[in-house]
Amino acid sequence: MGRKLLLEHINVPGINTYEVYRSKGGYASVEKALKTLSPDDVVEEVKKSGLRGRGGAGFPTGMKWSFLAKPEGVPRYLVCNADESEPGTFKDRYLMTYIPHLLIEGMIIASYALGAKTSYIYVRGEMMPQIRILEKAIAEAKNAGFLGTNILGTGYDLELYVQPGGGAYICGEETALIESLEGKRGNPRIKPPFPAIAGLYGCPTVVNNVESIAATVPIIRDGGDEYAKIGIGRSTGTKLISAGGNLKKPGVYEIDLGVPVEEFIYSDEYCGGIANGKRLKAVVAGGSSVPILPANLILKTAAGDARLMSYEGLSEGGFVTGTMMGSGGFIAFDEDQCIVRNTWNFARFYHHESCGQCSPCREGTGWMEKVLHRLEHGHGKLSDMDLLVDVSKKIEGNTICPLGDAAAWPVASAIRHFRDEFEWHVTNPQAAVAGNFGLAHYADPLTPVVA
Amino acid sequence: MLRVEDTQNHPTAAFSPALLAEMADMVSRYPEGKQKSALLPILHAVQAEQGWLSAEAMDKVAEYLRIESIEVYEVATFYTMYFLRPQGKYMLEVCRTGPCCLVGAEKIMDQIEQTLGVKEGEITPDGLFSWRGVECLAACGFGPVLQIGPEYTFYEKLTPVSVNQLISDLKVKANN
Ligand SMILES: Cc1cc2nc3c(=O)[nH]c(=O)nc-3n(C[C@H](O)[C@H](O)[C@H](O)COP(=O)(O)O)c2cc1C
Ligand code: SF4
Ligand code: FES
């Protein structure tokens, strides 16, 4: 039975209000941090916890905080990344909707640790209801003396604001987010300089995901060492998984990192198996940007071991037979789903969302979308698969921001693992337009590779 | 794209006192001299009041923030939430991204097109509805989903039947 550090009280009626949140022990971590710990102590606890960024890249949060430049007389900023736009990911929206004070509490702790006096929560503009929820929570926290000037009589001042985006996936990339917060188009910046040196308004800035910031609340409450005991290896703590697609019980689950994928999909505690009695065909385990894996490879690694839901577990096998934790957007495909159609859909998404600064990304995503469109609609050629791989290679690693890679990997991995399904679309165009290739051999267990 | 004739055909009303007060509040959230940061929130507020962003309205925003008009246009054209021409009173925005398609989003869009009798991006003759596909709305586990501005009211687990019901409810609401 997994621990619930973030979602423990999510079903308590009224937990979205200050009173109920407080009655469940809320804001105790702020009191502990501000009254008994120095900012550096807080950073130290977060370092000890082993917490890794929950936004996608998995970079250790404590280390990121310790890189923040602290020049005299220059303000520093904390910006929360609540842009949540990675297809398959919906945990941050869930958390902000139901337990907004957890994020506010985390923002106060993190701002204190970093010495920020003004912090922003950048929420994607479509989440207008969540923006209202957060604004109400901020007003309540301020009213209770946890925000504003001289918080809890400690002399620490903090203002917290919510900023809406305008509808652009790219604004989830941290430098694009900063540009957007400055009132500009969301064009990612060339790094270096990194935001830790020159971020918002040219000042040192930390950008962290909603879940990373929320996780500092239990870390400060229980101590970094306690948090680090949960999980497996360098994947410490609990992680919110957004489970969607053809699952019996889709939703947001908090898991101890290290749960076997098979248990996560099939046990009643989590997703309860595949919906409508169907069989599992494939999984995109960490949001649309990570490589897709066929059922056999997501349940077991190529070496035949049970695959675990952890940073290392999901990437076991590298790009050839593994995938990534990413943002924890877990998308399950049943036997009726068409891999070519989904790959085309994702390629369309990335083409639509490319900011257009780099030619390989702007043009390459367009080409991939066009070629996949023709494959899905029965006009493809057998040479198209190599063409797609070639285009994806030319994008990968040749762009300003990682959106290029994020667009290239899903296409390359779909062709790597489902090449015969793509070929079937070319050789049976009529059938491909009308129906789907089915499971083929992918759902069958792999023969273990004996070393 | 920006078209001058849109502005000529649809003259923009003056900003209401409530809107102006909201704009002043937004500007107060940023450091001195960084008022341009208020651009995205202000454009949302203007669109919520006027239904879309005319060139005239954007020029007013530029003047208010003491920035060039082009700085407003480049933002309004970059982000997908800003409408550069009038829309139906209710703009139904359906998520069309992969995970929602696994659970039937394409059927929902087909149903909307059939029920409203207009194609994506068009307005129904009574001016009440437009619809379009948008990208992942961060609710993939509860798909298919759609949202309706300016408050971005959210509808989950749609079926062709429930979406028809929603459309008729909105018609009733509009006529009352
Ligand atoms: C195209 C793109 C989109 C991204 N979208 C998000 C997002 O929606 N939310 C998020 O937290 N991080 C997103 N990221 C990652 C951020 O750039 C950044 O790494 C993250 O916010 C850091 O927070 P963390 O260390 O707490 O994970 C995205 C990155 C890229 C390249
Ligand atoms: S990789 Fe794509 S999204 Fe990123 S900066 Fe270049 S063009 Fe823009
Ligand atoms: S794919 Fe539709 S909400 Fe994410």
Supply the mean pLDDT for chain A: 95
| Segment A387-436, tens digit of pLDDT | 999 999 999 999 999 999 999 999 999 999 999 999 999 999 999 988 88
The reply to whether ligand 1 has any atom less than 6 angstroms from the CB of A55 is yes
CA distance A437 to A416: 16
| Burial bucket for residue A13 (CB in 10 Å: 0-12, 13-18, 19+) | exposed
Closest to A97 in 3D by CA, of A214, A243, A177: A214
| Burial bucket for residue B118 (CB in 10 Å: 0-12, 13-18, 19+) | middle
Write out the two tokens for A22.
Answer: 């407080």
Q: Is B95 known to sit in a ligand binding site?
A: yes
**Any A CB within 8 A of B66 CB:** no
Q: How far is B7 from chain A (nearest CA, A)?
A: 22
Q: What is the ipTM of this complex?
A: 0.95
| Segment A85-129, tens digit of pLDDT | 999 999 999 999 999 999 999 999 999 999 999 999 999 999 999
| Segment A125-136, tens digit of pLDDT | 999 999 999 999
Cα of A80 vs centre of ligand 3, distance in Å, is 22
The reported pLDDT for the residue numbered A446 is 47
Instruction: Please state, for a pLDDT cut of 70, what percent of chain A lies above it.
Output: 97
| Segment A339-350, tens digit of pLDDT | 999 999 999 999
The reported pLDDT for the residue numbered B8 is 55
Asked if A121 contacts A105 with a C-beta cutoff of 8 angstroms, the reply is no
Q: Indicate the DSSP class of residue A19.
A: H
Write out the two tokens for A126.
Answer: 């479509």
The reply to whether ligand 1 has any atom less than 6 angstroms from the CB of A208 is yes
Task: Flag whether pLDDT at A59 surpasses 90.
Answer: yes
Task: Flag whether pLDDT at B13 surpasses 80.
Answer: no
| Segment A26-50, tens digit of pLDDT | 999 999 999 999 999 999 999 999 9
- Neighbouring residues of A437: CB distance < 8 A, sequence distance ≥ 6: A338, A339, A420, A421, A424, A425
Q: Is B140 known to sit in a ligand binding site?
A: yes
- Neighbouring residues of A383: CB distance < 8 A, sequence distance ≥ 6: none
| Segment B132-165, tens digit of pLDDT | 999 999 999 999 999 999 999 999 999 999 999 9
| Burial bucket for residue A444 (CB in 10 Å: 0-12, 13-18, 19+) | exposed
| Burial bucket for residue B160 (CB in 10 Å: 0-12, 13-18, 19+) | middle
The reported pLDDT for the residue numbered A451 is 42
The reported pLDDT for the residue numbered B9 is 57
Instruction: Please state, for a pLDDT cut of 90, what percent of chain A lies above it.
Output: 95
DSSP string, chain B: ---HHHHHHSPPPPPPHHHHHHHHHHHTTS-TT-GGGGHHHHHHHHHHHHSS--HHHHHHHHHHHTS-HHHHHHHHHHSTT--SS---SEEEEEE-SHHHHHTTHHHHHHHHHHHH---TT-B-TTS-EEEEEES--S-GGG-S-EEETTTTEEE-S--HHHHHHHHHHHHHHHT-
SS (H, E, C) A415-431: HHHHHHHHHHHHHCHHH
**Any B CB within 8 A of A118 CB:** yes
The reported pLDDT for the residue numbered A435 is 85
Contact B37 A92 (CB under 8 A): no
Contacts of B143 in chain A (CB under 8 A): 244
The answer to whether the pTM exceeds 0.90 is yes
Q: How confident is the model at residue A443 (pLDDT cuts 50, 70, 90)?
A: low
Question: Could you tell me the sign of the dihedral formed by the alpha carbons of A386, A388, A390, A396, in that order?
Answer: negative
Task: Flag whether pLDDT at A1 surpasses 90.
Answer: no
CA distance B140 to A88: 6
CA distances from B28 to A49, A67, A389, B32 (A): 37, 30, 50, 9
Task: Flag whether pLDDT at A207 surpasses 90.
Answer: yes
Helix or strand holding residue A118 (H, E): strand A118-123
The reported pLDDT for the residue numbered B117 is 98
Those of residues 102-121 in B touching chain A at CB distance below 8 A are 102-103
Contacts of A365 in chain B (CB under 8 A): none
Contact B40 A88 (CB under 8 A): no
Closest ligand 3 atom number to CA of residue B105: 2
The reported pLDDT for the residue numbered A450 is 43
| Segment B65-76, tens digit of pLDDT | 999 999 999 999
CA distance A171 to A81: 9
